[in-house]
Structure formats: C-alpha cells, structure tokens
Amino acid sequence: MSLLAASTLQVLAFVLALLAAGIAGMRGVRLARQSAMQLDSAAWWQSEPARKAISHAVRPLWWTIAALLVGAVLPKLALLMADT
C-alpha cells in the first residue's frame, strides 16, 4: 500500500467519522426533543421505545470510533508494508 493510498484512505475514514458523529448528534438532539414533549420525561426514559431510540442514536458513535481507529492505523500499516 503506497503512502498516497494510505493517506487518502485515512482522510476518507476521518470524513466518515465526522459524518457519523454529526448523525449521532442530530439523533441525540431529536431524542432530547422527544423526551421534552413527554408529560413524565423521567419515566419515559425507562420505557422500551426510549431504550430503542437511545440505541438507535448511539449506533453512529460506534462507526465514528471504528473510523477513527482505522484512520489512525492506516499510516502505520502503510509504513510497515513499505519496509518489506
């Protein structure tokens, strides 16, 4: 893997991380708005729809973490492959 390809893939991974973080932020804001509309918001967080909504909102954060890890590892991998 050339260094140019590794840096290009690294930039793409970081762009994916930014997009996933933005999606997670928007889902979090939407979840907070939905909670604010409930009469008993403290009890609403314990309900099954709220739990599903929370897992739905947090899922893009896992993609963010994965993309950041891949982006951090790619240059090291490219340097290791260039030495061989």
Is it the case that residue 84 has pLDDT exceeding 70? Answer: no
Q: What is the CA radius of gyration of the chain?
A: 19
* In the chain, where the domains are located: 3-83
Instruction: Give the model confidence (pLDDT) of 1-39 as tens digits.
Output: 677 777 788 888 888 888 988 998 898 888 888 888 888
Q: How buried is residue 5: exposed, middle or buried, by Cβ count under 10 Å (0-12/13-18/19+)?
A: exposed
Mean pLDDT of the 57-77 span:
84
What is the pTM for the complete model shown? 0.70
Is it the case that residue 48 has pLDDT exceeding 70? Answer: yes
Element (H, E) at 39: none
Percent of the chain with pLDDT over 90: 1
